[in-house]
Chain A
Amino acid sequence: MKRNRRAKRSMKLKINGVEHELDIDMRTSLLDACRDHLGLTGSKKGCDHGQCGACTMLVNGRRINSCLTLAVMHEGDEITTIEGIGEPGNLHPMQEAFLHHDGFQCGYCTPGQIVSAVGMLGEVADGWPSHASADVKAGAALSGDEIRERMSGNLCRCSAYPNIVDAIETASAKMKENA
């Protein structure tokens, strides 16, 4: 059997505004590229199958399960991980709200929840409907039911859900204020 065993390729990834050049296995997921090769371990691996949302990143502003996509597919994209959302000394309003509302316990799903929530607010702002929207053409207003529906791809086994919903409502109001 003749096969090219060198499955490596060099690639450029722009993550949180910083260009990284990598020479890695083409089978490397975007998630593993960050966790295993770039020291960006904030994004978590909970299932590696797109079932839990712990790995959520923003690609060009939209939510994505980074375990379900290969790093090599994202040259030229603007990738945002939790590290790019905010840092301990300079937290994003969503992070502040999660902290204050106790929107987490063990913290493992938390980066994914926060990145997902930021992405979700962008979808609502753009008028994307959800299963919970009464009228899919009417644009979307943020409500508890809308948040619960739109965040259901992010599992939290500690079950901080009620606090997460409160945090997103608080952060959303704060972000509008700041806008």
Chain B
Amino acid sequence: MNKHVMNEAIGETRLDRGTQGVIGQGVDRYEGKLKVSGKAPYAYEHLIGEKVAYGFVVPGPIGRARVKSIDTAKARAMPGVLAVVTGDAIMHSSAQPMGPDVPAMKGEIFHYNQPVALVVAETFETARHASHLVEVDYEPLEGHYEMEGRRETGRASDGGPMAADTKRGDFEKAFAASEVQFDRTYTTPSYHAAAMEPHASVAKWDGDQLTVWSSCQLLDLNVKQIANGVGVDASKVRLLSPYIGGGFGSKLGIGPDAVLAALGAREVGRPVKLALTRQNVFQATSRRGETIQRVRIGATKDGRITCFAHETDTPNAEGEGFFEPSGISTVFLYPGDDRLVTHRVVTTDVLTTSAVRAPGEATGMLATESALDELAEQFGIDPIAFRKLNEPEKDPQEDVPFSSRRLLECIDEGARRFGWADRPSKPATRREGEWLVGYGMASASRANSLMASSAEIEMSADGRATVKTSMTDIGTGTYTILQQIAAEMLGLPLDRVDVLLGDTSLPASSGSGGSWGANSAGSSVFVAAEAIVEEFARRLDVDASTLTLKDGHAIAGNRQIPFSEILKRETLTVTGKIEPGDTSDNTNQASYGAHFAEVAVNVTTGETRVRRLLTVGTAGRILNMKTATSQCYGGQIWGIGYALEEELVVDPRSGLIVNHDLAEYHVPVHADVPKLDVVLLEDRDPYASPLAGKGIGELAIAGVGAAINNAVYNATGIRVYDYPITMDKLLPRLPEEVGAAA
């Protein structure tokens, strides 16, 4: 195994030379033709033509209870019903991404409409019908369904995505002594990932060997979770996820469907297909926790931030360690010698909370980037000038250098392109017909991480390359960028590189999550390709650094040799592995950007429309300009949803997630989204990975909602502290007279 540990900055590579000319290019997606023609098989769509059975989940109709008995007789008596699976092993929600454990019900109902049984039948229609005949007898238990009134019980979890507390100096003392004190509390609601493909699994037993096709992001962890849930050794399980209909964090851990389908298949002795209903997805997978965030900033009279505190309360189910890490950017984005970032988990008996796209930044920067806007105004300083005044030179928490931080360049470029100079200098002063118009901006940052990952490249005797790794493509463009990296490194046209993903029988990978996928899996392909180049050089008896590869030929001095000749009619197979190293510790790595929004608020109805949205970003090397830009559109649009629309509502009396479908949980639709602008600046981060790239998928959501909130303030003079900014929050406070109707 060829391994590269990221202990120092990478120098010039074949990617920089770009001899083949494919890296970075906005080429069409590798698997695109299959997706636009409906030929890409998602989890549920395997075993076509085989005799299978269909599963349907029985939900537990109460928020918290001990199950006394489950009467399955009527359901089992229905013709076509093959089995009703009950028992301790029924998974009641999705697994967390931190470890191999799975949440089994063990005789209890932990949250409203959790799975308590699975009906398996000859047809989907019969399974669905019979699910209504299963009777659950339970003893209700006391449940707590909101944080309100119980915030003092919050616990500091050591099992979350970051340390519960990050402190430096003495914030309280510094804040008390500050010339200017800013103290605001913001709330964000619970959100749902709402990927378009509901979690689905097909499970097939062959003796004691289990094969599962499921919609999963982290296959090498997920296969262990399935094994744990079913009670078999992980070596007996193979998991495949070649195509995934969106994840956004909700498929980092397995859904209950993976284990339920396997249990059902074992019981009925034939493969079982189980797709969660949309209602199941909302109520039995995972969600992003709501937050209450207190932001305190101390500053000098002339506008210099001296101390910063960001304290978050957020819920999770009993025993769950995950928390929404709202302070994750605050730790390094803002200056101040005295610092305090805390998270407390309030236990509630509601569906487990877990990672959703940009855990932390997506909620935390709604608060902090709105706070900066308000504080800048208090000082009478333009928000951009205020950020320039407060740009730290090094990581203010750890005192290590930033690997690269071009935030202010992004802001300046954005301001220029957007026409920031035309911003109404006073709020609620620009009116166009029945619309109040305002501009707002916000910074974006997303912490970068590199994960261990491996990939194999198989070069066939005729000089074609196939990349193989258990890595997943959740819509991010992984197939395509791995093809591009291999093609560029090996000097092959794109149509001579194939990519196989999403199968645990392939070399173990980082999986998709936390925007680390492209950098991690891509680097493993880089390492494997380097090893092939080394082998070519050895066979040609030249130094690898003098070898140029292009269009399937090796060029050494005045020789030009086709790969097929070097390979001598044999297949060459090489595995590469990347591991994070010292650069993760001795530099602070993040992607940066800036958002600019123009909104119009209807003076009569309070409806907010986003008219323009521009994001300028830097994320190291961009591997494919087209797919990277698409990722950023996605982040911007999620930002529109978080600012104006999305809110998962839990009934505090019962724990029921009230808006458990796509009619009532409002994700942005076509009509909510104007033409968007994304600009990615040419950038390299040699500390981040051999590719000199950084994460991009989550950068563009970080801060977008705050830019919109700041624009709403600029339009109306109304500051909203409770997201989303719905009409009811603006209507009572809309100004009577603004400017002249155009």
Query: A105 near B: Cβ within 8 Å?
Result: yes
B79: chain A residues at CB < 8 Å are: 5
Query: B732 near A: Cβ within 8 Å?
Result: no
Interface contact A158-B278, CB-CB below 8 Å: no
Select the stretch in A43-51, A121-129, A133-141 that faces chain B: A43-51
A40: chain B residues at CB < 8 Å are: 38
Query: B633 near A: Cβ within 8 Å?
Result: yes
Interface contact B39-A46, CB-CB below 8 Å: no
Interface contact A46-B197, CB-CB below 8 Å: yes
Encode B669-681 as 1/0 by CB contact (under 8 A) with A. Answer: 1110101100000
Q: Complex Cα distance A148/B675, Å?
A: 10
Select the stretch in B221-229, B253-261, B659-667 that faces chain A: B659-667
Nearest B residue to A6 via CB reads B79
Interface contact A41-B45, CB-CB below 8 Å: yes
Interface contact A49-B278, CB-CB below 8 Å: yes
Query: B196 near A: Cβ within 8 Å?
Result: yes
Query: A157 near B: Cβ within 8 Å?
Result: yes
Interface contact B248-A157, CB-CB below 8 Å: yes
CB-CB contacts below 8 Å: A137-179 with B: 144, 147-149, 151-165
A108: chain B residues at CB < 8 Å are: 42, 195-197, 245-246
Encode B609-633 as 1/0 by CB contact (under 8 A) with A. Answer: 0000000000000000011011101
Nearest A residue to B480 via CB reads A102
Interface contact B196-A157, CB-CB below 8 Å: yes
Q: Using A99-B28, A160-B634, A161-B637 as known contacts, say yes or no to A28 and B671 having CB atoms under 8 A apart.
A: no
Encode A85-107 as 1/0 by CB contact (under 8 A) with B. Answer: 11110010001001110101111
Select the stretch in B121-129, B302-310, B647-655 that faces chain A: B121-129
Interface contact B245-A44, CB-CB below 8 Å: yes
Least CB distance, A108 to chain B, in whole angstroms: 3
A52: chain B residues at CB < 8 Å are: 196, 278, 662
Query: A9 near B: Cβ within 8 Å?
Result: no
Interface contact A159-B33, CB-CB below 8 Å: no
Interface contact A51-B196, CB-CB below 8 Å: no
Q: Complex Cα distance A172/B78, Å?
A: 51
Query: B334 near A: Cβ within 8 Å?
Result: no
Query: A42 near B: Cβ within 8 Å?
Result: yes
Encode A35-73 as 1/0 by CB contact (under 8 A) with B. Answer: 110011111111111011010000000000000000000
Nearest B residue to A114 via CB reads B36
Least CB distance, A46 to chain B, in whole angstroms: 5
Query: B230 near A: Cβ within 8 Å?
Result: no
Q: Complex Cα distance A36/B52, Å?
A: 10
Nearest B residue to A112 via CB reads B196
Q: Complex Cα distance A111/B42, Å?
A: 13
Nearest A residue to B42 via CB reads A108
Query: A82 near B: Cβ within 8 Å?
Result: yes
Q: Tell me the interface secondary structure of chain A in the complex.
A: loop
Residue in B35, B38, B246, B673 whose beta carbon sits within 8 Å of that of A157 in the complex: B246
Residue in A83, A85, A152 whose beta carbon sits within 8 Å of that of B670 in the complex: A152
- A-B pair number, CB within 8 angstroms: 196
A161: chain B residues at CB < 8 Å are: 633, 637, 668-670, 673
B662: chain A residues at CB < 8 Å are: 46-47, 49, 51-52, 155
Q: Using A52-B662, A156-B196, A160-B634 as known contacts, say yes or no to A110 and B667 having CB atoms under 8 A apart.
A: no
Least CB distance, B125 to chain A, in whole angstroms: 4
Q: How many residues of A contact B (CB 8 A)?
A: 65
Nearest B residue to A167 via CB reads B36
Interface contact B668-A159, CB-CB below 8 Å: yes
Query: A109 near B: Cβ within 8 Å?
Result: yes
Query: B331 near A: Cβ within 8 Å?
Result: no
Least CB distance, A56 to chain B, in whole angstroms: 11
B186: chain A residues at CB < 8 Å are: none
Q: Using A25-B126, A49-B663 as known contacts, say yes or no to A44 and B278 having CB atoms under 8 A apart.
A: no
Interface contact B194-A157, CB-CB below 8 Å: yes
Nearest A residue to B637 via CB reads A159
Query: B275 near A: Cβ within 8 Å?
Result: yes
Interface contact A159-B39, CB-CB below 8 Å: no
Nearest B residue to A37 via CB reads B123
Interface contact A88-B475, CB-CB below 8 Å: no
Interface contact A157-B36, CB-CB below 8 Å: no
Interface contact A162-B476, CB-CB below 8 Å: no
Q: Using A5-B79, A45-B275 as known contacts, say yes or no to A25 and B195 having CB atoms under 8 A apart.
A: no
Q: Using A109-B196, A163-B633 as known contacts, say yes or no to A104 and B36 having CB atoms under 8 A apart.
A: yes
Interface contact A106-B671, CB-CB below 8 Å: no
A43: chain B residues at CB < 8 Å are: 38
Residue in B38, B39, B196 whose beta carbon sits within 8 Å of that of A106 in the complex: B196
Least CB distance, B191 to chain A, in whole angstroms: 12
B39: chain A residues at CB < 8 Å are: 42, 87-88
Q: Using A99-B29, A114-B36 as known contacts, say yes or no to A160 and B125 having CB atoms under 8 A apart.
A: no
Interface contact A157-B195, CB-CB below 8 Å: yes
Residue in B44, B49, B475, B667 whose beta carbon sits within 8 Å of that of A105 in the complex: B475
Least CB distance, A113 to chain B, in whole angstroms: 9
B38: chain A residues at CB < 8 Å are: 40-43, 81-83, 110-111
Interface contact A160-B48, CB-CB below 8 Å: no
Interface contact B37-A91, CB-CB below 8 Å: yes
Interface contact A98-B245, CB-CB below 8 Å: no
Nearest A residue to B33 via CB reads A88
B40, B42, B125 — most chain A CB neighbours (10 Å): B125
Interface contact A91-B36, CB-CB below 8 Å: yes
Encode B453-489 as 1/0 by CB contact (under 8 A) with A. Answer: 0000000000000000000001111000000000000
Query: B203 near A: Cβ within 8 Å?
Result: no
Query: B536 near A: Cβ within 8 Å?
Result: no
Least CB distance, A149 to chain B, in whole angstroms: 5
Interface contact A148-B673, CB-CB below 8 Å: yes
Q: Complex Cα distance A32/B44, Å?
A: 12
Query: B723 near A: Cβ within 8 Å?
Result: no
Interface contact A51-B29, CB-CB below 8 Å: no
A99: chain B residues at CB < 8 Å are: 28-29, 32-33, 36
Q: Using A25-B126, A39-B48, A51-B663 as known contacts, say yes or no to A107 and B245 having CB atoms under 8 A apart.
A: yes
Q: Complex Cα distance A161/B673, Å?
A: 7
A83: chain B residues at CB < 8 Å are: 37-38
Least CB distance, A155 to chain B, in whole angstroms: 6
Q: Complex Cα distance A63/B363, Å?
A: 38
Q: Complex Cα distance A161/B638, Å?
A: 12
Query: B389 near A: Cβ within 8 Å?
Result: no
Q: Complex Cα distance A99/B509, Å?
A: 27
Query: B41 near A: Cβ within 8 Å?
Result: yes
Least CB distance, A5 to chain B, in whole angstroms: 5
Least CB distance, B279 to chain A, in whole angstroms: 9
Residue in A24, A28, A87, A164 whose beta carbon sits within 8 Å of that of B37 in the complex: A87
Q: Complex Cα distance A48/B235, Å?
A: 36
A148: chain B residues at CB < 8 Å are: 670-671, 673
Residue in A41, A51, A110 whose beta carbon sits within 8 Å of that of B661 in the complex: A51
Residue in A98, A106, A160, A165 whose beta carbon sits within 8 Å of that of B244 in the complex: A106
A102: chain B residues at CB < 8 Å are: 26, 28-29, 626-627, 629-630
Interface contact B36-A98, CB-CB below 8 Å: yes
Nearest A residue to B630 via CB reads A102
Q: Complex Cα distance A87/B40, Å?
A: 12
B477, B630, B638, B667 — most chain A CB neighbours (10 Å): B630
Nearest B residue to A36 via CB reads B124
Known pairs A32-B124, A102-B629, A160-B630. 20 more at Cβ < 8 A?
A: A5-B78, A28-B125, A43-B38, A45-B198, A47-B278, A82-B37, A85-B37, A102-B26, A102-B29, A105-B477, A105-B630, A106-B197, A107-B36, A107-B245, A108-B195, A110-B38, A132-B671, A144-B675, A157-B193, A157-B196
Q: Which residues of A contact B (CB under 8 A)?
A: 5, 7, 24-25, 27-28, 32, 35-36, 39-49, 51-52, 54, 81-83, 85-88, 91, 95, 98-100, 102, 104-111, 114, 132, 144, 147-149, 151-165
Q: Which residues of B contact A (CB under 8 A)?
A: 26, 28-29, 31-42, 44-45, 48-49, 54, 78-79, 123-126, 129, 193-198, 243-248, 275, 277-278, 474-477, 626-627, 629-631, 633-634, 636-638, 661-663, 667-671, 673, 675-676
